Amino acid sequence: MKAFLILEDGHIFEGKHIGSKREVISEIVFNTSMTGYLEILTDPSYAGQAVVMTYPLIGNYGICPSDMESLKAWPDGFIVRETSRVPSNFRSEFSLEEFLIKNDIPGISGVDTRCLTKILRESGTMNGMITTNENFVIEEVVKALKEYKVTGVVSRVSCKEKKVTTHEKFTPTDFEMAKMTYMASPEMKEAIEKATKNGVCLGEIALSCMQGTAGIAYLNKLAEDENLVKTHYKVALMDFGSKKNIEHCLLKRGCEVTVYPADTLAEEILEADPDGIMLSNGPGDPKDVSEAIEMLKDIIGKVPLFGICLGHQLFALASGANTSKLKFGHRGLNHPVKNLATGKVAITSQNHGYAVEEESVENTDLEITHVALNDGTVEGLRHKKFPAFTVQYHPEASAGPEDANDLFEDFLTMIENFKKEGEELCQNA
C-alpha cells in the first residue's frame, strides 16, 4: 500500500506503508544511529515525534523485548529508507513491522531519507503527516501542519504513582533479560535437559529450572560488579519519561530507587528523606513542565541532585538560566562532548531538541562543565554552591557508548560526601 509523508513546507515523499494504517501529524526529527532502533522506539523522549532513521537499512536484527527501554513504543511515526524483511538474530522474537503494528505506530519505508534529512537540517525541524490517503489536499494538509503544536507529552509518559525498587528484587523484566542472555549457555542447556523426560520437555519444570538458573546468573552478575556499592542509598527518581536503563544503572550500584510521577510536590519527596534525587530524561519543551520547575526550586540545595537530558534543562530553568529550541536537535549515538575541567572527550548518546542557552548561565550560580564539540551546545552544568550537577546527554546509553557511565559513580560519591558533611556538622553543633 502506498503511503505519503507531507512536510509543512510542502515537500511530499511517496513510499510504502509499514506498521499501523492510521493517519498521524507529528514533529519530524532525524536520528543518525546505525543501531539501537528498538531502544529509540521505546524511549519515552520521542513521544510527540515521528523519527527518521538516516541509516538506510533498519530492522535487520529484529525485535528483542529485553532491549526495550519502556513497556511500549512512543513515537508518533517511523520513517525509514528500507526495512529488513528477514531479521537475523537468535534473540529476535518478531520483526520490526510486526512490532510497529502491535504498538499502533504508523510508518513509511522507501523514502529518500538522505534528502529528507538534508531538508530538516537546512530548514530545521518541522511538522509532517504520514498518511495512506492518496486524495489529500495539499493546501489543507499544510495548513493543519502549521497549526499543530506538541503539548502535554510529559504527563503522557510519566508514571501515575510512585514505586520502590531495590537491586535485591528479581523482577519479571530481570528474568526476561537474564533468560535471553543465558539461553545459549551450558548451564541453561543442562537445566533444560534435566527438565526433559522421555524426550518430552515438561514446560513448567523447564521454566522453573530456567528461572532458577537465570536468576542465579543475574544475581551473581550483580555481586561480581566491581562498582556495586555496599551501602544502599535511597534515590528518588523523577520520572519525566525515564528510560529503563537509568533506573538499572542506579539499582546495580546498590541503590534503593523510588520512582515518582512528574507532578509530585517537593514536600512529598523531601518527607521520604532520600539520599539523592535523579532527574530523568523526557519529551517536549522543558518550559511546559512548570510544576517540575517549581518543585526543583524548593529542592535544590537540600538533597544531592543529578539530572539527565530534560532533567538537565529543568534544573537550568529552576536555577535562573534559559532554554531554547535547537534548529534540528542532537539525536544519535556518536556525539563528542568535552569535559572542560579535564579536557577529556567522551562519545555520547544524545536525544534532545532543546538546549540551555550559554549566555543565560552567566548570571546564575551555575557553571558550564561540558560542551558539544560539534556545535558548542551546553552539555553539562554544576551548581557552584550546592551538590548538584546535570548533563544534556545520556550517560546510561542504551543504546550507545558507555564513555560517561562513571557519572553515576560521581553521583553516589556526591551523596556520600554530603552525608559525611552533615554528620560532621551534627557532631560540631
User: Which residue numbers are catalytic?
Assistant: 309, 394, 396
C-alpha cell at 25: 501529524
Query: Using CA atoms in the order 61, 62, 67, 73, what is the torsion angle rounded to 10 degrees?
Result: 140
Please work out, in degrees rounded to the nearest 5, the angle formed at the alpha carbon of residue 352 by the alpha carbons of 350 and 353. 145
353 marked as part of a ligand binding site: yes
**Half-sphere exposure of residue 61: CA atoms within 13 angstroms, side-chain side:** 12
Q: Which residue has cell 546505525?
A: 34
Quickly count: other Cβ atoms within 10 Å of residue 76's Cβ.
22
48 marked as part of a ligand binding site: no
Write the CB contacts of 131 (distance below 8 Å, at least 6 apart in sequence). 3, 4, 6, 23, 24
282 marked as part of a ligand binding site: yes
Query: Cα 242 vs. chain centroid, distance in angstroms?
Result: 6
233 marked as part of a ligand binding site: no
What's the 3-state SS for the chain?
A: CEEEEEECCCCEEEEEEEEECCCEEEEEEEECCCCCHHHHHCCHHHCCEEEEECCCEECCCCECHHHCCCCCCCCCEEECCEECCCCCCCCCCECHHHHHHHCCCEEEECCCHHHHHHHHHHHCCEEEEEECCCCCCHHHHHHHHHHCCCCCHHHHHCCCCCEEECCCCCCHHHHHHHHHHHCCCHHHHHHHHHCEECCEECHHHHHHHHHHHHHHHHHHHHHHCCCCCCCCCEEEEEECCCCHHHHHHHHCCCCEEEEEECCCCHHHHHHCCCCEEEECCCCCCHHHCHHHHHHHHHHECCECEEEECHHHHHHHHHCCCCEEEEEEEEEEEEEEEEECCCCCEEEEEEEEEEEECHHHHCCCCEEEEEEECCCCCEEEEEECCCCEEEECCECCCCCCCCCCCCHHHHHHHHHHHHHHHHHHHHHHC
393 marked as part of a ligand binding site: no
Q: Which residue has cell 543529578?
A: 306
313 marked as part of a ligand binding site: yes
392 marked as part of a ligand binding site: no
Alpha-carbon span 133 to 418, nearest angstrom: 59
33 marked as part of a ligand binding site: no
Annotated binding site for L-glutamine: 45, 282, 284, 310, 313, 351, 353-354
